[in-house]
Amino acid sequence: MLSSASSPTLTGAALDAALDDLSATGADFHRRGWSLGTSSNYSVLVGRDPLELMVTVSGKDKGRLGRGDYVRVGADGRPVEAGAPPSSAETMLHVVLARQPGVGAVLHTHSPAATLLSDHYAGQSVLRLEGYEMLKGLSGHSTHQATELTPIFENTQDIPSLALKVEERLNDADHPLQHGFLIRKHGLYAWGADIAEARRHIEVFEFLMECELRKLSLA
Ligand SMILES: CSCCC(=O)C(=O)COP(=O)(O)O
Ligand SMILES: [Zn+2]
């Protein structure tokens, strides 16, 4: 479930530190093979009133991000400052997630496990993860008996329409998005109250998807 904690407005040294943290996260994910070939995008919430995020510039090598590789965008996903480089092609996915109370950072990876598993379950719109001790790394789960239902959305180049579908699920009380979702043959999105929590959620999902993948190959 989404946390109810709100994120403070980031300015000055705190904003620089957050961008450095995101860049270090990108370098780590790149090293682990989850953000290769310019894939992935990352964002951190700057403020809620008005809603502003720093999102990675489109097409950057995520293993070598610097402070200049982020664009400030508003609630409509457009750059706040004139002349800014284009933000991620997937900016609107970050925006709809950041609009949720308690979401302070959003991370997207392109691991082989996410790519293959979301394809393996073709025709299925959810990846069910249950029984694993590592589920306790997802905020709110306190036992291995928890069930994490991770929706799988079909891949598309029409990101605004995908963002609408994600937003519908975010507002669907019967089938709430928990900590992340998959895009078929594309990758994983996960979020958290801050960068550390979002990173932990990505790590837990990547670990569990790797387990599911190895289980399939053992069978
Ligand atoms: C080779 S990655 C294809 C685009 C993508 O899915 C992605 O995550 C990176 O796109 P961005 O515009 O954020 O660089
Ligand atoms: Zn992507």
DSSP string, 6-73: PPPPP-HHHHHHHHHHHHHHHHHHHHTTSS-TT--EEEEEEEETTEEEEEEBTT--TTS--GGGEEEE
Give me the pLDDT at residue 192, please. 98
Tokens of 202: 């990505």
Note the pTM of the prediction, 2 decimals.
0.96
Nearest CA to ligand 1 atom 8: 40
Sequence ranges of the binding site? 108, 110
The dihedral sign for the CA sequence 49, 15, 5, 2: positive
Ligand 1: residue of 110, 183, 189 to mutate (most ligand atoms within 8 A of CB) is: 110
Q: How far is the CA of 157 from the centre of ligand 1 (A)?
A: 11
Nearest CA to ligand 1 atom 13: 88
Give me the pLDDT at residue 219, please. 87
Give me the pLDDT at residue 128, please. 96
| CA distances to 62, 109, 110, 197 from 93, in Å | 18, 13, 15, 18
Ligand 1: residue of 88, 108, 157, 188 to mutate (most ligand atoms within 8 A of CB) is: 88
Give me the interface pTM, i.e. the ipTM: 0.99
Nearest CA to ligand 1 atom 9: 39
Residue 64's CB is within 10 A of a number of other CB atoms, namely 11
Give me the pLDDT at residue 51, please. 98
In tens digits, the chain (219 residues) has pLDDT values of 444 445 458 999 999 999 999 999 999 999 999 999 999 999 999 999 999 999 999 999 999 999 999 999 999 999 999 999 999 999 999 999 999 999 999 999 999 999 999 999 988 999 999 999 999 999 999 999 999 999 999 999 999 999 999 999 999 999 889 999 999 999 999 999 999 999 999 999 999 999 999 999 998
- How large is the C-alpha radius of gyration of the chain? 16
* Structural domains of the chain, with CATH: 12-218 (3.40.225.10)
Q: Which residues contact 217 (CB under 8 A, 6 or more apart)?
A: none
Cα 129 to Cα 200: distance, rounded to the nearest angstrom: 16
Nearest CA to ligand 1 atom 6: 39
Q: How far is the CA of 142 from the centre of ligand 2 (A)?
A: 30
Please report the DSSP string for 118-166 in residue order: HHHTTT-SEEEEES-GGGGGSTT--STT-EEEEEEEPP-S-HHHHHHHH
Ligand 1: residue of 40, 182, 184, 186 to mutate (most ligand atoms within 8 A of CB) is: 40
Give me the pLDDT at residue 5, please. 47
Q: How far is the CA of 182 from the centre of ligand 2 (A)?
A: 10
Ligand 1 pocket, residues with Cβ under 6 angstroms:
37-41, 56, 58-59, 88-90, 108
